[in-house]
Amino acid sequence: MVIRLLLIALFVPVLLLLVMRRDARFRAMRALVGLFFLALVAYSVIFPDTWQSLANSLGVGRGADLLLYLMVVAFITFAALTIKKLREIDRRYANLVRRLAIRDAHLKYKDLAD
């Protein structure tokens, strides 16, 4: 039961990441999260039994299952951020195409007027 609440609680930061703007603060937070995960991986390699004891305290059968659950949350986060980034790129690309179309139309009209 504890693991279910924990996994649901992990989606709150995901929602915050989706709402946040992509500015320097967002990039800094993303870099810090990346460093945290690298440190977590190093710790996991040095002390592999930690996952099993953490899984037991959360009510999960094995440490590998706990890692799988966390990887699912990480994958969903990555997918959501990627979709958000692609939408932003599509919007910027559409705006650029509109500007170019207006500029080209204006230049063609100007050439016809001369």
| pLDDT for position 1 | 66
Query: Domain-by-domain residue ranges, the chain?
Result: 2-113
Residues 5-28: tens digit of each pLDDT = 777 777 777 777 667 666 777 778
- Whole-model pTM: value is 0.68
Residue 60's pLDDT band (cuts 50, 70, 90): confident
| Ramachandran assignment for 62, one of left (phi > 0), alpha (psi -120 to 50 degrees), beta (any other) | beta
| pLDDT for position 21 | 67
Which residues neighbour 76 within 8 Å (Cβ) at sequence distance 6 or greater? 11, 14
Q: Which residue has the higher pLDDT, 61 or 8?
A: 61
